[in-house]
Structure 1
Amino acid sequence: MSGVDASLLDRVRARLAELPDAPSPMTVASAVRAESAGVVGDTDLLRIVRELQTELTGVGPLEPLLADPTVTDILVCGPDAVWVDRGVGLECSEIRFADDAAVRRLAQRLALLAGRRLDDAQPWVDGRLPGSGGDDFGVRLHAMLAPVSAPGSCISLRVLRPATQRLDSLAASGAIHPRALELLEAIVDTRLAFLIVGGTGAGKTTLLAGMLARVAERERIICVEEAAELAPAHPHVVRLIARPQNVEGIGEITVRQLVRQALRMRPDRIVVGEVRGAEVVDLLTALNTGHDGGAGTVHANSPQELPARLEALAALGGMGRDALHSQLAAAVLSVGRLGCSGLFPASNLSLI
């Protein structure tokens, strides 16, 4: 900052870091006066307070992007490049950081908010920032410190917006072909188990939420997720959210553990928000033990890639190839790749 010694800012930051509560404008101003011995003018004082308030609250200079309801991803690639995705691809924003130290400070503060550790000994972190009002929806955080990442420290924020749309609204918006609407409703009504397959950002969770909203009100749905995204418009939904280990390396609750707990909660339908690990074994077991109509999503570009993907995931849970295919064939009825016939316009979504 022009006219202000950088060491003064560092001393103020160190003083504020010792405070037990979040700094207010008054406490920031008091810290500046104390560290500058009263030699900072009113103009510089106001500028320092504004800068430090921005840096020390929320997501710092990224706050305007996060407040934009169209933003899905914010990607910081060092101090000189901040990219944003508003649903039409990545674009470079005008936001810049003073230096890599500023990116590092923000990454470490966000890691603390997520209950994780980020330093030179542990230079990357994966966690979730709490949503406003303490709800389960929030922001998925990944950060990596330089020099492990180049050209500087990196921060990746994925905005977790609740998937609440119904099938009819998706069809009205053109996301689902009218012929697909009847088929999807029949799959739900006849309690067929199904897997939704697609790449990143294809709309797997949105479609799953729409199908779950179709489930009869008398049925109890247990949704298991690693990060809260499913919020189907249904009166009886119980959501179980996985939890990473804390800074002491304990307290982890896995998706696989939650799937097992869901079996004991008198579910009518068990849903796994995204099958990405050994929990595929427990999900297939559940679908073959009387829990009809269960569902999940799998990250794969096409149904042709699905068997290999599930084989790799099942191997993590100790299930062999033959056992997997036997369980899969018994649990999931294939209805073909709907995406190839244009039933999901402008998407690589498929339904198995």
Structure 2
Amino acid sequence: MHAVPDLPELGPDPGWAGALGPLLALPGVTDVLVNGPADVWLDRGAGLERADLGIRASLPDARAVRDLAVRLASLAGRRLDDAAPCVDARLPDGSRLHAVLPPVADGCAAVSIRRLSAGALDPRELVASGMVDAHGMRVLTSYVHHHATLLITGATGSGKTTLLTALLSLAAPTERIVVIEEAGEVAPEHPHVVRLVERRANVDGAGAVPLSALVREALRMRPDRVVLGECRGAELREVLLAFNTGHRGGLVTMHANSAADVPARLTALGALAGMGPEAVALHAAAAFDAVIHLQRGSDGVRRVVEAMRLVLRDGRLAVAPLGPGGAP
């Protein structure tokens, strides 16, 4: 771990971010993490680095960190106080805020900001970044053009959303894409994108619109592609039903440790929706044409490391290699 050096030119400083503005203005920053007044970190693609740049002067004590967290939450239109000590929200520039106040966070408020990428990468940029090689990019492009339904998996920060956004940008401009998300992060370079964002319950526990309801709404919006930014719960049932009733060409991301773990992960999520293992296996094997798994290496590069397909083996869901040339 090493301190971030002072840089003469930091780029545009997002004034709403207060003491964190200079860090968020650094080129390539994806995450800024505040654990305490003298415990601030950032990620610029090569792992976590301890930050300085005057942070200690701007955040001298735990009270200052708490005030910053509360102010950021208010900018996102969310409440953060002793009665509601945790918040997950979207900031003015689209960045994702997560903050936790004491006593849930021990000793000092904890603040995490994940920045959105400036725009969708094109195929050449994906290859140049090392995320995928030239052959793999041709295969992925073919999948998009032939309306293959893809499940993109990986750990947090492995590049799932980056790849998803880039692939959507390859869709024909005549297609209507409906994107369903927890927080608006997917922004493809495409002329016809409709975004539906989950709404959480208010302080009285009312008004929630979950992802599962948004998937159903999306199907009524004449979509050419239904996209789920992250599948993490009972919405899996609606997605599987959609992809098995003529809605092809969709893309979904999901957390998983490896492609081999995807069947177990799908089974677990299906259970949250009341689906048995057999039903999940039958629907998933028919729904997805390929599983694309990403991993972030020790060098900080996010790469496609596996491309598999879902199959049935003795009635159980499993993964198998893709066919020659990457065909499912």
Scaled by the length of structure 2, the TM-score of the pair is 0.80
Q: Does 2:159 correspond to 1:197? A: no
Correspondence list, 1:11-90, <5 A:
58-90=16-48
CA separation of 1:60 and 1:305: change in aligned 2, threshold 3 A: same
Relative to its length, the structure with more helix (as a share) is 1
Query: Per-residue deviation at 1:163?
Result: 4.6
The equivalent residue for 1:119 is 81
SS at match of 2:121: coil
- Provide the rounded CA distance (Å) in 2 between the counterparts of 1:109 and 1:337: 37
Report % sequence identity. 52
Q: Identify which of 258, 274, 277 aligns with 1:318.
A: 274
Runs of 4+, deviation exceeding 6 Å: 335-339
The equivalent residue for 1:244 is 200
Query: Per-residue deviation at 1:162?
Result: 5.1
CA contact (8 A) 1:275 1:297 kept: yes
CA contact (8 A) 2:89 2:97 kept: yes
Q: Deviations over 1:310-346 (max 9, x none)?
A: 112112212111111110011113478798xxxxx75
Amino acid corresponding to residue 256 of structure 1 in structure 2: S
Residue segments in structure 2 that go unaligned for 5+ positions in a row: 1-14, 296-300, 309-328
SS at match of 1:58: helix
Rg comparison, structure with higher value: 1
Query: Per-residue deviation at 1:121?
Result: 2.7
Amino acid corresponding to residue 104 of structure 1 in structure 2: R
Query: Per-residue deviation at 1:266?
Result: 0.7
- Provide the rounded CA distance (Å) in 2 between the counterparts of 1:195 and 1:338: 11
CA separation of 1:349 and 1:197: change in aligned 2, threshold 3 A: farther
Q: Does 2:212 correspond to 1:256? A: yes
Correspondence list, 1:143-182, <5 A:
143-161=99-117, 163-182=119-138
Amino acid corresponding to residue 122 of structure 1 in structure 2: A
Relative to its length, the structure with more strand (as a share) is 2
The equivalent residue for 2:49 is 91
Q: Does 2:64 correspond to 1:108? A: no
CA separation of 1:149 and 1:246: change in aligned 2, threshold 3 A: same
Amino acid corresponding to residue 61 of structure 1 in structure 2: A
- Provide the rounded CA distance (Å) in 2 between the counterparts of 1:349 and 1:276: 22
Give RMSD over aligned pairs. Answer: 2.3
Query: Per-residue deviation at 1:231?
Result: 1.7
Correspondence list, 1:298-313, <5 A:
298-313=254-269
CA separation of 1:201 and 1:146: change in aligned 2, threshold 3 A: same
Q: Deviations over 1:222-267 (max 9, x none)?
A: 1111111222222222121222334444333222111111000011
Amino acid corresponding to residue 87 of structure 1 in structure 2: G
CA separation of 1:257 and 1:351: change in aligned 2, threshold 3 A: farther
* Number of positions where the alignment pairs a residue of Structure 1 with one of Structure 2: 286
SS at match of 1:87: coil
Amino acid corresponding to residue 23 of structure 2 in structure 1: L
Scaled by the length of structure 1, the TM-score of the pair is 0.75
The equivalent residue for 2:168 is 212
SS at match of 1:274: coil
